[in-house]
Structure 1
Amino acid sequence: MKSNKFMILLSILILSFVLVACGGDKNATGSKGNQDSNSNTETGSKTSVNTVEDARIEAENPAASPQLAINRGDTVVVGLQEPGGVFTPYFNTSGYDGNVQSVMFPPLVDINEVGEPVPGLAEKWDISEDGLTYTYTLRDGLLFDNGTPFTAEDVEFTLTLLHDPSYGGGTDITEAKVVGGLDYKEGDATEISGINVIDEKTIEITTEEVNAQSLRLLGGQILQKDYYGKDYKKGDLDYLNALHLKPVGAGPFRFVDYLPGQEIRYEANEHYYDGKPEVAQFIYKTTEGDSQQFFQTGELDYSALAANQDNFEFLQALGFADINVYTSSAYSYMSFNHEKEIFKDPKVRQAFILGLDRQTIIDAHFQGYAQVANVPVSPTSWAYSDEIGTTAYDLEKAKQLLEEAGWTEGSDGIREKDGEKLKVYYFTSSGGLGDTLIPIAKENYKELGIDFQVEQMDFNALLARVDKGDHDIASFSTTMLTDPYFGVQGFHSKSTSATFKGYANDEIDALIDATIATNDIDERTEAFHELYKALEENPPAIYLGYTKVLSGVNARVEGFEPNGYRGIASSLKNLKVVDVNN
């Protein structure tokens, strides 16, 4: 995918599909850290808040469900921010449109709760011994939600469309390096030679280079050829604009209507391969308002809330809420502007990490519903390690590193080097974690001899100023990371992301490339761990946290199984309404 797979979103995305997270690990001096126990640092010993375990807690009094919800019968309602109105996969720019699409467009290859690929619309796949050829076998009897057959030709059409010269969406299919793909995209070829339809259920795709991303990149959501390709001519995709609000998919629910500012309505799809869902209608409610209040009054059956103890107790007190607590696959961080001379020296960056009391920040803000991050991947991932990285606050070590880097304390307590004061500008969006982080960071860095200047602004202004390189340090969160590679690709020198301006290192590039140079998950895990070790010595950012996600489900609805990779999307097919009065 393009580098915008690593695009940053506000850390308060409380929706069911796009979520944010936080986590922790080993300290810089080599002793292993534990977020559930004492954290010993050079500044003394203190006890951190116990991290809340992932759990599902059943409602204590399902019969307390509001009558408004019970009266809806077999219609299930979930809250969503207003989408952009582009409901064709691969063409939207809003993540909320992605939520809308996920109901109707399951991928060929899905992903489970720990980030591993699992069968979706493809019942199986095979990767050749040399890792270059992917063969997908579709499930028997697949149909689109309009009742027409779903075949390998639809897969071929979708991949061709993504290679079209005029395609400008967020999916960079060329990363899969399909044989003949660039000939089609940049040349006169009328078809892509590396795509071979074997029969109605089987398609074979040959690539030029091993890439662990290719399995899911080539096995994504599928567009019906007879519908989305009816007016297709190479080099002109404008005709698709008329179809963005008339989606045809193959998911458990079929699109019915979109009322801007009110709702997106779906109905159960009788053609769905796994059987028609028991729930007759599914609705995304987009009305502006307090989602917590909407859930309390019964207007919503499912709601994700800011993960903290207050909201957990709120859900418990309702009595009718099944509560889910789970860890997101995202992480939050403070990125350095590596184009600034101050941050050219890795020791300075290491000092900024060790000189910030992240444990206190995370504990104070999240009340146990997050843990300090030690590496750029969540503990939910197979690529995570708690043996690498640091969660320590070590003021004395940080001072030593700055001294070694030539920054000595001046008469006013602020460090200097070559006549320049150690003054940095930190940009962050208003509200959220920043409100807790700022006073602690200012105090921490003052003790370290750093003049830490802060500017808070709205998120669009933050993006604009970071893009111009006005900042020294800035705070962001990743989106959900469906693969650990998406958490590190922004560190690559070829990345177009503005988030890590000036960070370029041949060794790091090679280590990042190695994480996708094999399809073997054990080999990939080892490659990621080697990368994390190198990033510890040459840090691109201050990792902040892996947050928990807290959601409530009205006990009248069973089947929601949200996770940190797919939100609620994978479980929608299993929804059913039960009688809470018996």
Structure 2
Amino acid sequence: MKMKKALAGALLAATVLASGGVQAQPDKSTLVVGQLQFLTNFHPLIQVNNTKRLVVNYGLRPITAYDENVVNQCVLCDQVPSLQNGLAEVVDNPDGTKGMRVRFTLKQGLSWGDGTPVTTKDVVFTHKMGSDEKIGFSNYNPWSRASSVEVVDDRTFVLVLPEVVSSFASWDQILPVHLEEPIYAANPDAESYTKQSLYNTKPTTPGLWNGSFMLTDYQIGTRLIWEPNPHWPGAKPGLSRVVLSYRDNSSALMQNLLSGEIDAVPVSPGGISFSQMLDIQGQNPDKFSYHIADGTNLERIAMNLDNPILSDVKVREALLLSIDRNAITEALFQGKQMVANGLLSNTSPYYNNGMETYSYDLEKAKALLSEAGWTPGADGICVNGKGDRLTLELATTAGNQTREQIAQVIQSQLSEACVEISTKFVPLQEYNGELARKRQFTGLIMSSIDFSPSTSPRIALGSNRVPNSENKFTGNNFSGYKSEAMDAALDKFDTALSADETKAAWTEIQSTFAQDLPMLPLYFYARAYVSVPDLTDFRQSTYDPLQNFAEEWHRH
């Protein structure tokens, strides 16, 4: 009964509100995108998360990125290296081990927004910073994979890799040496450099941006304005301005979309909820375009495994068995968001059909808690032999209606298994900083993680990716999970050079994950956007941020 009431309440909260305002005549050269969660740190390679990537990549492009067909594309380079085309090769290291040499050539005419050419000097500088443990880059495709950079000329360079890695052809953004090197020299530690970087002190400096757009204006908490980079050598952007317009909550985004104040909005995370999109689609099927595709972005609950309660795998399994994920997705998403059994969706070619999965089973959950020494107390909440209550805090980002709804539903569902949950909704800055990255949560945190095809799951599961003061709080292993078996499987993944090797490694990773449950998988976000119908060439379903291809967007 409690679960039904919670789900009913969640559905009620998602009801479309009436919208007012006068429809303005559209400016076909501008796209106003509604957003939540204003960035408090614009540096592209420090404290990286999905929210940041979906903003910064308008103006600062990675060297390569995956498109909607899971094909790695050159963004800043001429040709993607491969073993077949000879631009990548496996070589013998002096100590007898195997390494790699990977050759890239930057696009002709590539320039920063101030007209300064993008050159191999920028690559060398970025690699230097990315290898500096005092700085602590946390990008998805680490520069530290390379031991050195050999410069051939102003445009061509060779990355020397001391190990064979499957992600050898995937590399993230580079930084402008002419602007950031003096700041780095004067601020050689993570805290001071991050504060003094131009990306945070003067983010509208044209020379910080090398993509098709550059940041020209911003107001903290309110808006970001991206306009074409006049020095971009690729296709001229189809829009003269992209305005990211921020709201405090998803209901305001929805109202402003319906009233015509904004032209497009992402669907959670970072925008309206999926249930809100479904309601808008049901009532306004022809007013907007609905860009929807299967997603890989995993909504999960990380757990602080330093907590003695959560260090017991039986408790973790009981928690997962007590959450009716199918009921949640049916109630909130009409079943259109896929329940997650692990890190990969079951549509992935690497999905492990043989791994253990966990369907809702309240009685089995109660039995596991009993085995772990937790039995219901007088008020229905479990206690152990010492009289300690089975109480955990569940924190997530404030203003995200979907997460707040699900947190409340989970709170209700777990109470039926004698687990007491207190919910906490915190601003994005606090969540990504002190709470998650510095692991100052005591129980559970809910957020998403998305693995590009090139990104190693090590970032969230590796023993050496637990954020701490020694590694400048890099890595996304917020649970503090450490497993020799998982590390061995990750080693196999990181060195795989064929689809068969990758599949075999993923099989081990998923099986070990299912046994240990370092995180509780909930569901996969569908990739979804709602926009005015005249927005075309909108490659919303790319595996890396769609902003990498924003110059293709047009309004007709």
TM bin, normalised by shorter chain, reads: 0.7 to 0.9
Counterpart of 2:259, as a letter, is T
The answer on whether the counterparts of 2:204 and 2:215 sit within 8 Å (CA) in structure 1 is no
State how 1:6-405 maps to structure 2 within 5 Å: 68-70=24-26, 72-81=27-36, 83-84=38-39, 87-90=42-45, 98-113=53-68, 116-124=71-79, 125=81, 126-130=87-91, 131-163=99-131, 167-171=135-139, 176-179=144-147, 194-216=148-170, 219-229=171-181, 233=185, 236=188, 238=196, 240=198, 243-248=202-207, 249-286=209-246, 290-305=252-267, 306-315=272-281, 317-318=283-284, 319-378=286-345, 383-398=350-365, 401=368
The answer on whether the counterparts of 2:35 and 2:265 sit within 8 Å (CA) in structure 1 is no
> Structure 1 pair 232/389, CA: closer, same or farther in 2 (3 Å)?
same
TM-superposed deviation, 1:144? 3.5
Range with greater deviation from structure 2 (204-213 or 462-471): 462-471
TM-superposed deviation, 1:505? 2.4
In structure 1, the residue corresponding to 2:24 is in which secondary structure? Answer: helix
**Cα RMSD after superposing both structures:** 3.8
In structure 2, the residue corresponding to 1:331 is in which secondary structure? Answer: strand
Range with greater deviation from structure 2 (295-304 or 433-442): 433-442
In 1, the alpha carbon distance for the partners of 2:402 and 2:291 equals 22
In 2, the alpha carbon distance for the partners of 1:335 and 1:91 equals 21
In structure 1, the residue corresponding to 2:326 is in which secondary structure? Answer: helix
In 2, the alpha carbon distance for the partners of 1:563 and 1:141 equals 29
In 2, the alpha carbon distance for the partners of 1:244 and 1:315 equals 37
In 1, the alpha carbon distance for the partners of 2:117 and 2:290 equals 39
TM-superposed deviation, 1:147? 4.0
Aligned residue in 1 for 2:451: 481
Structure 2 residue 554 is matched with structure 1 residue 576: yes
Range with greater deviation from structure 2 (257-266 or 200-209): 257-266
The answer on whether the counterparts of 2:411 and 2:422 sit within 8 Å (CA) in structure 1 is no
Structure 2 residue 418 is matched with structure 1 residue 451: yes
Aligned counterpart for 1:520 among listed residues 473, 498, 504: 498
Structure 2 residue 507 is matched with structure 1 residue 529: yes
Counterpart of 1:294, as a letter, is N
In structure 1, the residue corresponding to 2:211 is in which secondary structure? Answer: coil
TM-superposed deviation, 1:121? 1.2
Structure 2 residue 516 is matched with structure 1 residue 538: yes
Range with greater deviation from structure 2 (200-209 or 461-470): 461-470
The answer on whether the counterparts of 1:112 and 1:565 sit within 8 Å (CA) in structure 2 is yes
TM-superposed deviation, 1:558? 1.4
Deviations 1:517-565 (CA, angstroms, capped at 9, x unpaired): 2343431232011111122222223211112243211122212221364
Structure 2 residue 464 is matched with structure 1 residue 494: yes
TM-superposed deviation, 1:379? 5.2
In structure 2, the residue corresponding to 1:546 is in which secondary structure? Answer: strand
> Structure 1 pair 151/93, CA: closer, same or farther in 2 (3 Å)?
closer
The answer on whether the counterparts of 1:365 and 1:433 sit within 8 Å (CA) in structure 2 is no
> Structure 1 pair 497/153, CA: closer, same or farther in 2 (3 Å)?
closer
Whichever of the two has the greater Rg, that structure is 1
In structure 2, the residue corresponding to 1:292 is in which secondary structure? Answer: helix
State how 1:410-425 maps to structure 2 within 5 Å: 418=385, 423-425=390-392
In structure 2, the residue corresponding to 1:374 is in which secondary structure? Answer: coil
TM-score under structure 1 length normalisation: 0.72
In 1, the alpha carbon distance for the partners of 2:482 and 2:377 equals 32
TM-superposed deviation, 1:387? 4.4
TM-superposed deviation, 1:569? 0.4
> Structure 1 pair 562/140, CA: closer, same or farther in 2 (3 Å)?
same
In 2, the alpha carbon distance for the partners of 1:231 and 1:201 equals 24
Structure with more relative contact order (C-alpha pairs < 8 Å, separation 6 or more): 1
TM-superposed deviation, 1:300? 1.9
> Structure 1 pair 379/114, CA: closer, same or farther in 2 (3 Å)?
farther
Aligned length: 492
Counterpart of 1:278, as a letter, is G
The answer on whether the counterparts of 1:374 and 1:386 sit within 8 Å (CA) in structure 2 is no
Deviations 1:431-455 (CA, angstroms, capped at 9, x unpaired): 6445456456645663xxx421121
In 2, the alpha carbon distance for the partners of 1:170 and 1:421 equals 38
The answer on whether the counterparts of 1:291 and 1:303 sit within 8 Å (CA) in structure 2 is yes
The answer on whether the counterparts of 2:381 and 2:419 sit within 8 Å (CA) in structure 1 is no
> Structure 1 pair 436/560, CA: closer, same or farther in 2 (3 Å)?
same
The answer on whether the counterparts of 2:24 and 2:260 sit within 8 Å (CA) in structure 1 is yes
TM-superposed deviation, 1:67? 5.6
Deviations 1:402-430 (CA, angstroms, capped at 9, x unpaired): 56656678899877765657724242347
TM-superposed deviation, 1:85? 6.7
Counterpart of 1:271, as a letter, is H
Aligned residue in 2 for 1:47: none
The answer on whether the counterparts of 1:85 and 1:244 sit within 8 Å (CA) in structure 2 is no
Counterpart of 2:462, as a letter, is H
The answer on whether the counterparts of 1:330 and 1:377 sit within 8 Å (CA) in structure 2 is no
- Unpaired segments ≥5 residues, structure 2: 1-21, 82-86, 92-98, 469-476
The answer on whether the counterparts of 1:426 and 1:452 sit within 8 Å (CA) in structure 2 is no
In 1, the alpha carbon distance for the partners of 2:280 and 2:367 equals 46
In 1, the alpha carbon distance for the partners of 2:103 and 2:304 equals 43
TM-superposed deviation, 1:167? 3.4
Range with greater deviation from structure 2 (118-127 or 78-87): 78-87
> Structure 1 pair 553/379, CA: closer, same or farther in 2 (3 Å)?
farther
Deviations 1:346-390 (CA, angstroms, capped at 9, x unpaired): 344333333432222332233223221101234575544454341
In 1, the alpha carbon distance for the partners of 2:201 and 2:390 equals 52
TM-superposed deviation, 1:336? 3.8
In structure 2, the residue corresponding to 1:68 is in which secondary structure? Answer: coil
Deviations 1:51-89 (CA, angstroms, capped at 9, x unpaired): xxxxxxxxxxxxxxx86242x132222223474475553
Structure 2 residue 481 is matched with structure 1 residue 503: yes
In 2, the alpha carbon distance for the partners of 1:454 and 1:321 equals 39
In 2, the alpha carbon distance for the partners of 1:276 and 1:149 equals 18
TM-superposed deviation, 1:116? 5.0
Aligned residue in 1 for 2:12: none
In 1, the alpha carbon distance for the partners of 2:53 and 2:38 equals 9
Counterpart of 1:520, as a letter, is S
> Structure 1 pair 69/261, CA: closer, same or farther in 2 (3 Å)?
farther
The answer on whether the counterparts of 1:427 and 1:456 sit within 8 Å (CA) in structure 2 is yes
TM-score under structure 2 length normalisation: 0.75
In 2, the alpha carbon distance for the partners of 1:356 and 1:245 equals 45
In 2, the alpha carbon distance for the partners of 1:265 and 1:572 equals 14
In structure 1, the residue corresponding to 2:256 is in which secondary structure? Answer: helix
